[in-house]
Amino acid sequence: MSSKTVLCFIHAITPLHVGTGRGVGFIDLPVMREKVTGWPIVPGSSIKGVLADYHNATEDQRAGDDEKRAAFGMADSGSIVSGMPNAGSLVFTDARLVCLPVRSLYGTFAWVTSPLALKKFMRDLGAAGKANGKIIPDLSGNEQSVIRTSDSLLHKNNNIFLEDNLFTCQQEQTTIADQWADELSRLIYGTEDQWADEFKKRFLIVPDEAFDFFCELGTEVRARIKIQEQTKTVQEGALWYEEALPAETIMAGLVWCDKVYGTPPVSDADQLIKKFCSGTINLQLGGNATIGKGLVNIVFCNGGES
């Protein structure tokens, strides 16, 4: 049975909150982050859960549907009728940050990435069998230099302002930014989508240190309150601060299938991936669904074809 691996992009259409519970700082409900880098992530368990819900793979449905049971697994219900329990055949990694939207004085906002973020993404491309061999730019030695695309909307007189920070463009590496912008826009938006051109005009590579800064301070933090039902006034003590990834955030992870579990196997790995992890899916991810948060596009592609 062949192993199959595909890329899984998450493009946030509205602010996205996948939290860790209570925070220890002034943010009461922070987003989940990698321990080592401090960059925001979306855990694979969250992606698997919402995808199972999208395909209506409830426990009852899995008991009567061999493919859903094989794809997402089934717990032991203690019932002989529901069949033997098995692990899910589809394996989801955490989705890691590729591009963070950052406010820009020129061009409204930039899709910001860094050399380290591109290295991590290139590793995922290689795992999907589509290592592109593109050059990782060098921004070491000058923390205020960035690399823009050739038709960028983000600069004036070769200066770029992100939030309150001034950067200068390294024009000699513009071709590298163009190549990465073409690759990412094709994978995320396809060749016909008008957003592919918008992405290319706003794509920007910043130093790793600057990317760390934006990942820490570039998220949305909103005050939330609770209203008393009887008086329609703010309930005493019911004020909290909640963090979210801004709209237009782009993240990426992997989905693979090494072995099809279930008795008997009903599909091979390619069939399961094609049925449950292909194309573009619009769904809600994370918390605050009733106030419009967490609307995302999930784009599955094998690194060369979407």
Query: DSSP secondary-structure letter at 95?
Result: E
Residue 79: pLDDT band (50, 70, 90) is very low
pLDDT mean over 114-141? 88
List, in order, residues 6 or more apart from 29 with CB less than 8 Å away: 17, 19, 21, 22, 23, 240, 241, 242, 243
In angstroms, the CA 112 to CA 215 distance is: 10
pLDDT mean over 255-261? 89
Amino acid at 223: A
The residue ranges of every structural domain in the chain are 1-17+44-93+246-306, 100-218
Query: What is the percentage of the chain residues whose pLDDT exceeds 90?
Result: 58
Name the phi and psi angles at 224, rounded to 5: -120, 145
Query: Shortest CA distance to 286 belongs to which of 85, 26, 109, 40?
Result: 40
Residue 40: pLDDT band (50, 70, 90) is very high
* Cα Rg of the chain (Å, integer): 21
In angstroms, the CA 296 to CA 184 distance is: 17
pLDDT digit string (tens) for 91-127?
999 999 999 999 999 999 999 999 999 999 999 998 8
Q: Is the peptide bond before 264 cis (omega within 30 degrees of 0)?
A: yes
- Over 70: is that where the pLDDT of 81 sits? no
pLDDT digit string (tens) for 277-291?
999 999 999 988 888
pLDDT mean over 10-18? 95
Amino acid at 237: G
In angstroms, the CA 132 to CA 123 distance is: 10
pLDDT digit string (tens) for 170-191?
988 999 999 999 999 999 998 7
